Structure 1
Amino acid sequence: MKKLLVLLAALATMALILSACSESSAEGGEDAAKEVNLLFNFATNSLDPHVDTSYVPLRAGIAETLVYLNDETLEIEPWLAESWSSEDGQNWTFKLREDVTFQNGKPMDGEAVKASLERAMTDNIAIKNALRIESIAVEGPELTITTTMPFPEFPSELVHPNTSIIDVSETDFINKPIGTGPFAVASFTPGTAVDLVRFEGYWDGAAKLEKARFSFNEDANARSLALESKGADIVFRPEVETVEQLEAIDGVTVESTSTFRVHQMTMNLQRESLKDVHVRQAIDALIDRDMIAETILSGHAEVATGPFPSSFSFAPDYPEKKRGIDEARKLLEQAGYTEQDGVMQKDGEPLTWTLLTYSARADLPLIAQVFQSDAGQLGIEVVIEQIEIPEEHMAANRDWDLTTYSNLTAPRGDAGYYLNATYHPDGALNFSGADDNKLTAMIDELNQVVGQEQRSDIAEEIASYVDEQMYNSFVLHPNTLVAYNSDKVKNWTTTRSEYYMLTNELDVE
């Protein structure tokens, strides 16, 4: 019955997609516009670039940031900002491009950029904490930005999608933000799709596509079916089990690219049982990473020993750990737990965990189920709770113990972003509630260091300390899977940062 319901839901989704496509073709006839439909795995109900956690405005080419991340060199490069400089790491001068206009024809000048950044900090406390801006002054095409403290890595924070520059005098941020990107919003149906049209005045050359659709479906199987039936041209994260089937289709290309992402077990350090490091270590020991990588991800992943992929200079050589159910039992015994009548307990209270997960990343619920099964062998009840938007839920609720969560850990080629966001008390992604004075001091020291070699050394020390304390447990580094109709789609690039998708260079036959 369950399989039948899933199939019916997928067929219903396909019917809607195909209906939309047939209507588009009928309207355009032989002169149909050059367009693509990209099907993404996260739905959004808002296009507000400053708060949208799915980063759709940047990914869909609606908005842009001052600074761009080069996916190959992992270095930041000019984008809307032409250049930047600082003599002391606290007072920064940014020179803006002078040939950029918003999609409503207004110039992107210093005052507009200042207003956009200030609005981002007002509406998104995480961005305010990340940027640490004390003041912004404008003189012609130049911005003088002063941070609250010396912050040598400040420009890299401006890669973040929530710092996208928009015209804040146009106030329908949710449905039609006005950015500087190659595509303007034609219409937006929350939770379904945003339809886009080419912005003819784009500063870097008008897009090759006339139209585009950035649509959403959190069902991985439905995304795969959409590509098979040509209801979508590009599918982000198709179901892993369908990869071989998709690769066998004439004209379909599947790309599996390593990323800066980690699947982790986020721990709520405010929960009584998780205040004990031995319990946290037991959770880590229970996770069968090799099995998960091979069965759930079909090998499209690297087993994680920490938050950063092993290729980064700031990824430590972690000490070998004992793993498995027997090791987890020993660690729990050190925390005062005993297994009685098949129930793990302490002081007569059974050990029970609430584990959050979400379906937008299809492998996370499966990881949760594997963990639930293994914990059950120790007499631990794990109650799995499905949520929709993990960041919002974890921030607003503290009645959970664990969350299978996926996060970009080094999207700018540097450890500072993840360590600040995840472990600093003011961090935007500090859902664990980590508040460790020693750890905070180490992160503050990192924030004031410029040289990459020294930064890597400090970051390595921090990552080792996090491992000792087991503030989170890291499962694997998944590859990004993208499948697309390569007979039609040209110039598609699967990026490691996952930030840049619909570009002015994307084209169709």
Structure 2
Amino acid sequence: MVGVKSRTLITALSLAVSLAVGSAQAQDLKIGVRAGPEAMDPHYMALGHQIAAIKNIYEALVTFDENLQIAPGLAESWKPINDTTWEFTLRPNVKFHNGEPLTAEDVKFSLDRVPGAAGPDGGLVINTRNITHVEVTGPLTVQVATSVANPALPQDLARVSILPHSIGKATVEDFNSGKAAIGTGPFKFAGFKARTGFDVTRNDDYWGGKADWDKVSFTEISNDAARVAALLSKRVDVVNYVPFSDVEKMRRNHDVSVVQGQSIYIFLLYPDQRAHSDLVTDKAGKPLDVNPLSKPQVREALSLAIDRTAIADRALEGFAKPANQLIDDKFFGALPTPPKLEYNVAKARQLLADAGYPDGFKLPLHCTSDRFPGDGATCTALGQMFARIGIDTQVNALSRTVFVPARTRGDYIMTMAGWGSVSGEAGYTLSSIAHTNDKSKGLGAFNVSHVSNPKSDELIATAMRTLDNDQRKQLFQQAMTSTLDNYDIIPVVQLSSVWASRANTVTFTPRVDEETLPFFIHPVAKK
């Protein structure tokens, strides 16, 4: 969320929505979302839909604009004091929703709280992994010390909401009931029901100016057809994640406006590299002595089997493009000209034979069916493509509520999931999913596929503590190349984002992180 309402927005597509401005109803906004928050504790989970929801109520020290450029949040400035210490200066006269003033004590409390508040996906521990202590140096200043140099600490803290220290040892239930759901954001908590939705009301004392809406209701509608139907029947005003199969039809509907934007989210394939798993069998169903996915030749064969252009153009109806690396090409640390990943079935079959599997093998592939548009369709297409090279693949497209905790437990042998580098640079992605899981260093926090590449590890760890921008960029690029060359994680396609709304009454600028933030949705009459 951009900190100040009047900040100039970077030019982008605008979305028109139809509402009767001027009536009492015109000040209410109803949004249908594919996925809502799992809880109202802002430190509980790190999934994108969770972060997008809580941003309406809570804020962090720094924030990102719609293109993931860093901007001031609750901190008006920040600077490094030395190689391992950053100082943040807070905005004056900011109040929490309960009337308490924002102070440096609240920042210390919030950063210290993160490890103990983590939910099933590890929460925001990765964002605070290097913090050793937080020192209050004045009513509005804090110094954050880290175990190693951390040039990206401000970006890391952009997802860590600041809470009033007066909530003490509040539980998840305290947040869900509203008792502890106290932030500084443009809206106040007004109600929440898991997997159903949540309501917020305008914070008239918001430091960034008043929002245009008295009340905003978010309704979780995970079924794509039902979400579109809710828009067409005027039960909601805006929906996110329009199913790609409906986009052209909705564009022809004069009662609906549609906008498309580039997304940072990429479907990635995660072959689990553990040495053995009973989930991988021969064609007769007998578990193999060695997990084939632990062999680089087999992982390369998987990549060669993927027709990325076909997935983008057919399974995703043109609302995606082939991905050749783990992050958006424009982000800091990305390869400027990544090698195009080849599609070659014959070569893939030969690699399997060379690896000792001339007859292939069997395994399950797990993914979500309700987190991103086309996730289930992409998973199905991958299963069919792997079958062509002799890998019999059982596709299991599941609800995210089943998939996420099971994947975190290590229940799956190969998964496909959407991933976005929400910090706008390579460090977040590489340190999270491409580094060996090392809890003592806070690295590999989301490495659920047992990736352990010593060359990548050294490059990533060095980059994360390198202060010189040019050197850090080169190290990230080398780590990206190492990860791709070893096929530790396999890029598939990068998505587009599509919203739709009732026609002709509000505007907003699409965000590359796909967040739908009502503070930046405005009635047309107020342009």
Normalised to the residue count of structure 1, the TM-score between the two structures is: 0.86
User: 2:184 aligned with 1:164, yes or no?
Assistant: no
Question: What is aligned with 1:110?
Answer: 104
Number of the residue aligned with 1:64: 59
Q: 1:44 aligns with which of 26, 37, 43?
A: 37
Q: Secondary structure at the match of 2:258?
A: strand
Q: Which residue of 1 aligns with 2:407?
A: 394
% identity of equivalent residues: 26
Q: 1:356 to 1:479 in 2, by over 3 A?
A: closer
The normalised TM-score by structure 2 is 0.83
Residue 332 of structure 1: CA displacement? 0.5
Q: Which amino acid aligns with 2:133?
A: S
Deviation digits for residues 99-126 of structure 1 (CA, Å, limit 9, x no counterpart): 2111111111111121112112322255
C-alpha change, 1:87 and 1:297, in structure 2 (3 Å) is: same
Q: Matched residues in 1 for 2:474 and 2:416: separation?
A: 29
- Given the alignment, which residue of 360, 384, 387 partners 2:395? 384
Task: Read off the aligned partner of 2:499 and give its amino acid letter.
Answer: V
Point out where structure 1 has 5 or more consecutive residues left out of the alignment. 1-24, 345-349
The correspondence for 1:405, drawn from 396, 411, 417, is 417
Structural mapping, 1:17-416, within 5 Å: 31-32=24-25, 34-52=27-45, 53=47, 54-56=49-51, 58=53, 61-72=56-67, 74-124=68-118, 125=122, 127-131=124-128, 132-138=130-136, 139-160=138-159, 163-170=160-167, 171=170, 172-176=174-178, 177-270=181-274, 271=277, 272-312=291-331, 314-316=333-335, 317-339=337-359, 344=360, 350-385=361-396, 386-389=398-401, 390-396=403-409, 398-409=410-421, 411-416=422-427
- Does the CA contact (< 8 Å) of 2:413 and 2:449 recur in 1? no
State the distance in 2 between where 1:210 and 1:68 align. Answer: 24
The 1:356–1:505 alpha-carbon spacing in structure 2 relative to 1, beyond 3 Å, is closer
| 2:268–2:417 contact (8 Å) kept in structure 1 | yes
State the alpha-carbon separation in 2 of the partners of residues 487 and 191 from structure 1: 30
Q: How many residues align?
A: 467
CA spacing shift, 1:404–1:168, aligned 2, 3 Å: farther
Amino acid at match of 1:208: D
Q: 1:237 to 1:320 in 2, by over 3 A?
A: closer
Aligned CA distance change for structure 1 residues 58 and 218 (closer, same or farther; 3 Å): closer
**Cα separation, 2, equivalents of 1:378 and 1:136:** 54
2:126–2:432 contact (8 Å) kept in structure 1: no
CA contact (8 A) 2:58 2:185 kept: yes
**Contiguous gaps of at least 5 residues in structure 2:** 1-19, 278-290, 438-442
The answer on whether the counterparts of 1:95 and 1:141 sit within 8 Å (CA) in structure 2 is yes
Does structure 1 conserve the Cα–Cα contact (< 8 Å) formed by 2:303 and 2:490?
yes
| One-letter amino acid of the counterpart of residue 494, structure 2 | H
Q: Once superposed, which parts of structure 1, at least 4 consecutive aligned residues long, lie more than 6 Å away?
A: none
In 2, the alpha carbon distance for the partners of 1:56 and 1:35 equals: 22
Specify the SS of the correspondent of 1:169: helix
Separation (CA, whole Å) in 1 of partners of 2:339 and 2:26: 57
Q: What amino acid is the match of 1:303?
A: P
Return closer, same or farther for 1:205/1:179 CA change in 2, 3 Å cut-off.
Answer: same
Cross-structure match for 2:282:
none
Q: Give the C-alpha shift of residue 244 in structure 1.
A: 1.1
Instruction: Report if the CA contact (8 A) 1:493-1:501 is conserved.
Output: no
Q: Which amino acid aligns with 2:35?
A: F
* 1:382-435 deviations in Å (ceiling 9; x for gaps): 122224234422111x232211200112x3321111111112223232112222
Q: CA RMSD in A?
A: 2.2
